[in-house]
Amino acid sequence: MSDAPVTLSQVAREAGVSLATASRAINGSATRSVREDLRERVLEAARRLAYSPDPSAQAMARGRTTALGLVVHDIADPYFSTIAAGVARAAEQAGLIVTLASTEHSSERELAFVELARRQRSRAIILAGGRLEPAEGPTAEGGAVADGGATVDGSATVPGGSGVPASDGRVPEPSSDAPASGGAGPAPGALEAALNAFQEAGGGVALIGQPIGGLPVVEIANADGAADLARALHDHGYRRFAVLAGPAGHRTAADRTSGFTGALAELGSPVAPDDVLACPFTRDGGYSAMRGLIERAGGLPELVFAVNDVMAVGAMAAVRDAGLSVPEDVAVAGFDDIHTLRDVSPGLTTVRIPLAEVGELATDLALGRSEGTRTAVRGEVVLRDSTPRRPAGAPTPDA
Amino acid sequence: MSDAPVTLSQVAREAGVSLATASRAINGSATRSVREDLRERVLEAARRLAYSPDPSAQAMARGRTTALGLVVHDIADPYFSTIAAGVARAAEQAGLIVTLASTEHSSERELAFVELARRQRSRAIILAGGRLEPAEGPTAEGGAVADGGATVDGSATVPGGSGVPASDGRVPEPSSDAPASGGAGPAPGALEAALNAFQEAGGGVALIGQPIGGLPVVEIANADGAADLARALHDHGYRRFAVLAGPAGHRTAADRTSGFTGALAELGSPVAPDDVLACPFTRDGGYSAMRGLIERAGGLPELVFAVNDVMAVGAMAAVRDAGLSVPEDVAVAGFDDIHTLRDVSPGLTTVRIPLAEVGELATDLALGRSEGTRTAVRGEVVLRDSTPRRPAGAPTPDA
DNA sequence: CTGTTAGCGCCTTCAG
DNA sequence: CTGAAGGCGCTAACAG
């Protein structure tokens, strides 16, 4: 009934060998090898005692954990949770434990987690999701990131930080309205520095979606995908577009927007600057931006491209709430092909990104199991009922 | 530039005190205290050196990690990812690191992960999601779980298992069509035994959704929620129902089904057994069950209740694909109120479960921060356009 | 109140 | 090929 954890030395004793031999038999030491019969005896003893190694102890002795850190903005977001599923699968295959951090869009937390991963000597770390781009002056202070890290005072510390109970260990709430700049957030470049430090300390790194410095990254061909989408829609007869473009400074959003508008310009149907609307990268962002479009004078475009599916769904809701309908009054397209949204009605035209696969790729990359250091994943346009082919001679009202 | 991890002794030296004092100053030892000025000096030194403790070392010295294990069936499922978000938030506040396991519905993996958590001396573990109920004979073999655990041969081992590279560490693919019974899966009761062992070893446990033995659990009032829903729909004038009931043996599905049918029986509109259709707990399950309903002779019921939102959405898709429409031809209701599906059209009537909150509650429970050992979360009926009020004198065709 | 001294469980040089 | 011994970074008895 009672059962204090079985240790390696117990196994060794049970098998009648020394601790060292037991260790070698079980983990298959690199240099040394063990005679077959002894090895068998040890394994047998281990099995009998239901031994399994203590990860903390191994981590300490080896100077490296068996943990893979995964940092996402919000695990409840289907975009990230699908990536997480891919990472979880790949990590399990690699015998690694996934350590999850949902930063809730706080770059302080993101940074703190990277520091923690280094401290904890995680095997690798994967950062998913873009960061807002700051003013982006040259990183004046050079490499030295004075104090942006997880220090003992707890002010920038995250899970597992300083020992003082739970009372003061918590991360201060970031002022959620303050954009990433000025003195508030971590110094620009701090994340990159932390990641480099982690890497230099022997950890594997992979980013998803957006490169930072020269770090390994699984890029998503946002611009290309959006351009493909634009061409497909143009081919369907659409000519007047608007874009719900996400927030300024959001790299992913910007790439999708520019890919889309760029392709249209080439096709001779440029999108007027007024028809590119900045808005939050969320459902509500899509909703209100679309409402703005509806209410504004000048009539609706033929098609509205929201830079992600969640926004697109918000936009469709806005259309319905205004008593209009998709695609009769306005067509809508999104990006990502979120699986859970596959059945919205009308079916949402979008660009499919194999998110789970992206997670797996990132894991391989972080673990150094793939050749290069940069992989690009290209999406695939999926045309559905939200953007039907326009009848040849459809009226094309000009603004 | 280069920076080997700073250790406590370096901090101690820098501050001119002993290792022990530094430790006490930083973590605030329970019994001993440190003079204020020394304490300051230590903290100052730590800050200067950007020290932060090594979790593995602490874990080893203390005999307890700072990790919180979270086990879900599938992190890509919005149900679980929303719970995970709640857990992540609460864990961070408690200064714990979340360790994620997405079992992909394998009970072997679930079990292995619990064993691992014990071995690793995780602070607590949270298991979300129901398990299929096996034949459920009395647990014949008593408590001794002979070899269901993570043993060194790797056969039932999970992340971080035996050292042999990644080549053989993987868990054998479970035959996904074999129901949990017979000799295939882990012995019935093995999970409970493992959980008990974990708890006896000092770990905190919380289950979500479905009790196991007397372990702490956040229950979701599935039957009550479904009954509330049934009453609300009956009140809206519906009389003829069908239920897409999920798989046999699925406790959550069964509770929702029985709550729903039970309430209707009381109201004098019993659901015929033929109108309760077993099907997988997934989108496709809902889709095909609904298609079966549509194709079957005898006409459609007035309303179809799918035991979760994802199934309901699949069902709505089936209706559309058959050239029919919701709610004109048939009304549809679901359960959970998955946030991502908030904007499907027509809006899906459902029972809202505060999933993120459930995750937080479970964390508190697992950490022993809430009084009782059982919390029940009751859902709230949300009526939307998929189930409009039926006109008073609507025809009620009888089969 | 502070410093010294053992380990925690495991891996890894070193001898044998 | 095997065993003994040291140490990873930290905490927790013990002295002083």
- Between CA A83 and CA B159 the distance in angstroms is 19
Per-residue pLDDT, B167? 28
Give the lowest-confidence range in A82-86, A342-346, B154-158, B284-288: B154-158
Span B138-166, average pLDDT: 33
Q: Do A93 and B26 touch (CB under 8 A)?
A: no
Give the lowest-confidence range in A107-111, A152-156, B290-294, B359-363: A152-156
DSSP element (H, E) containing A57: helix A55-62
Measured CA A197 to C1' D7 distance, in angstroms: 25
A55 in B contact zone (CB under 8 Å): yes
Where does the pLDDT of residue A63 fall: very low under 50, low under 70, confident under 90, or very high at 90 and above? confident
Where does the pLDDT of residue B392 fall: very low under 50, low under 70, confident under 90, or very high at 90 and above? low
Measured CA A49 to C1' C2 distance, in angstroms: 43
User: Residue A156: pLDDT above 60?
Assistant: no
Are the beta carbons of A230 and A293 closer than 8 angstroms?
A: no
- The edge-to-edge listing of strands for the beta sheet with B124-128 is A374-377, A217-220, A204-208, A124-128, A67-72, A97-102, B97-102, B67-72, B124-128, B204-208, B217-220, B374-377
Q: Mind telling me how many Å the CA of A121 is from chain B's nearest CA?
A: 8
Per-residue pLDDT, A159? 36
pTM, full prediction? 0.85
- Between CA B337 and CA B354 the distance in angstroms is 9
The SS3 call for residue A189 is coil
What is the per-residue pLDDT across A116-151, written as a single tens digit (0 to 9) for each?
898 888 999 999 987 766 543 333 333 333 333 333
Q: Mind telling me how many Å the CA of B396 is from chain A's nearest CA?
A: 28
**And the tokens for B201?**
């070893």
Q: Do B164 and A104 touch (CB under 8 A)?
A: no
One-character DSSP codes across A227-271: HHHHHHHHHTT---EEEE---TTBHHHHHHHHHHHHHHHHTT-PP
Residue B329 CB coordination number (10 Å):
14
pLDDT more than 70, % of chain A: 82
Give the lowest-confidence range in A72-81, A198-207, B176-185: B176-185
What is the per-residue pLDDT across B97-139, written as a single tens digit (0 to 9) for each?
999 999 998 999 999 999 889 888 999 999 998 776 654 333 3
User: Residue B159: pLDDT above 80?
Assistant: no
Nearest to A100 among B88, B160, B356 (CB): B88
pLDDT more than 90, % of chain B: 59
Per-residue pLDDT, B6? 85
Per-residue pLDDT, B1? 46
**What one-letter code names the amino acid at A269?**
S
Residues in chain B within 8 Å Cβ distance of A290: none
Where does the pLDDT of residue B36 fall: very low under 50, low under 70, confident under 90, or very high at 90 and above? confident
| Nucleotide closest in space to A62 (CA vs C1') | C11
State yes or no: cis peptide before A346, omega within 30 of 0. yes
Residue A297 CB coordination number (10 Å):
5
| Nucleotide closest in space to A56 (CA vs C1') | C9
Per-residue pLDDT, B239? 97
Residues in chain B within 8 Å Cβ distance of A100: 70, 84, 88, 98-100
Measured CA A43 to C1' D2 distance, in angstroms: 17
What is the per-residue pLDDT across A266-280, written as a single tens digit (0 to 9) for each?
999 999 999 999 999
- Between CA A348 and CA A332 the distance in angstroms is 7
> What are residue B150's phi and psi, to 5 degrees?
-85, 95
Where does the pLDDT of residue A166 fall: very low under 50, low under 70, confident under 90, or very high at 90 and above? very low
Per-residue pLDDT, A122? 93
- Between CA B387 and CA B237 the distance in angstroms is 10
User: Residue A28: pLDDT above 90?
Assistant: no
Q: What is the 3-state secondary structure (H, E, C) of chain B?
A: CCCCCCCHHHHHHHHCCCHHHHHHHHHCCCCCCCCHHHHHHHHHHHHHHCCCCCHHHHHHHHCCCCEEEEEECCCCCHHHHHHHHHHHHHHHHCCCEEEEEECCCCHHHHHHHHHHHHHCCCCEEEEECCCECCCCCCCCCCCCCCCCCCCCCCCCCCCCCCCCCCCCCCCCCCCCCCCCCCCCCCCCCHHHHHHHHHHHCCCEEEEECCCCCCCCEEEECHHHHHHHHHHHHHHCCCCCEEEECCCCCEHHHHHHHHHHHHHHHHCCCCCCHHHEECCCCCHHHHHHHHHHHHHCCCCCCCEEEECCHHHHHHHHHHHHHCCCCCCCCCEEECCECCHHHCCCCCCCEEEECCHHHHHHHHHHHHCCCCCCCEEEECCEEECCCCCCCCCCCCCCCCC
A74 in B contact zone (CB under 8 Å): yes
Nearest to A160 among B66, B116, B317 (CB): B66
User: Residue B163: pLDDT above 90?
Assistant: no
Which residues numbered 233-292 in B keep a CB inside 8 Å of some CB on A? 283
**And the tokens for B298?**
């005898």
Strand segments (E) across chain A: 67-72, 97-102, 124-128, 204-208, 217-220, 241-244, 276-277, 303-306, 331-333, 350-352, 374-377, 380-382
What is the per-residue pLDDT across A210-263, written as a single tens digit (0 to 9) for each?
899 999 999 999 999 999 999 999 999 999 999 999 999 899 999 999 999 999
- The edge-to-edge listing of strands for the beta sheet with A276-277 is A276-277, A241-244, A303-306, A331-333
**And the tokens for A232?**
């497909």
Nearest to B164 among A28, A81, A143 (CB): A28
Q: Mind telling me how many Å the CA of B247 is from chain A's nearest CA?
A: 21
**And the tokens for A100?**
């999850």
> What are residue B250's phi and psi, to 5 degrees?
-90, 110
The more confidently predicted of residues B53 and A260 is A260
Nearest to B85 among A56, A59, A76 (CB): A76
Are the beta carbons of B246 and B311 closer than 8 angstroms?
A: yes
Q: Are strands A124-128 and A380-382 parallel, antiparallel or unpaired?
A: unpaired
**And the tokens for A20?**
């060292």
Nucleotides of strand D within 7 Å of the protein's CB atoms? 1-5, 7-14
| Nucleotide closest in space to A33 (CA vs C1') | D1
- Between CA B140 and CA B42 the distance in angstroms is 58
Per-residue pLDDT, B39? 86
**What one-letter code names the amino acid at A15?**
A
Residues in chain A within 8 Å Cβ distance of B60: 54, 56-57, 60
Residues in chain B within 8 Å Cβ distance of A314: 343
User: Residue A329: pLDDT above 50?
Assistant: yes
- Between CA A194 and CA A113 the distance in angstroms is 10
Q: Mind telling me how many Å the CA of A54 is from chain B's nearest CA?
A: 6
Residue A190 CB coordination number (10 Å):
24
Per-residue pLDDT, A141? 31
| Nucleotide closest in space to A19 (CA vs C1') | D3
Nearest to A52 among B74, B143, B157 (CB): B157
Q: Do B54 and A119 touch (CB under 8 A)?
A: yes
User: Residue B181: pLDDT above 50?
Assistant: no
Measured CA B92 to C1' C7 distance, in angstroms: 31
The residue lying closest to nucleotide C11, measuring its CA against C1', is A61
Span B49-55, average pLDDT: 88
Which residues numbered 120-139 in B keep a CB inside 8 Å of some CB on A? 120-121
User: Residue A356: pLDDT above 70?
Assistant: yes
Q: Mind telling me how many Å the CA of A28 is from chain B's nearest CA?
A: 6
Residues in chain B within 8 Å Cβ distance of A283: 342-343
B325 in A contact zone (CB under 8 Å): no
Per-residue pLDDT, A266? 97
Q: Which residues contact B272 (CB under 8 A, 6 or more apart)?
A: B399
Instruction: Count Cα neighbours of B145 within 13 Å in the Cβ-side half-sphere.
Output: 23
Span B234-251, average pLDDT: 95
User: Residue A152: pLDDT above 80?
Assistant: no
The residue lying closest to nucleotide D9, measuring its CA against C1', is B57
A33 in B contact zone (CB under 8 Å): no
Per-residue pLDDT, A75? 97
Measured CA B9 to C1' D13 distance, in angstroms: 19
| Nucleotide closest in space to B63 (CA vs C1') | C8
Nearest CA in chain B to A99: B99
Interface contacts (A, B; CB < 8 Å): 281
**And the tokens for B334?**
């679901």
Where does the pLDDT of residue B171 fall: very low under 50, low under 70, confident under 90, or very high at 90 and above? very low
Measured CA B20 to C1' C13 distance, in angstroms: 29
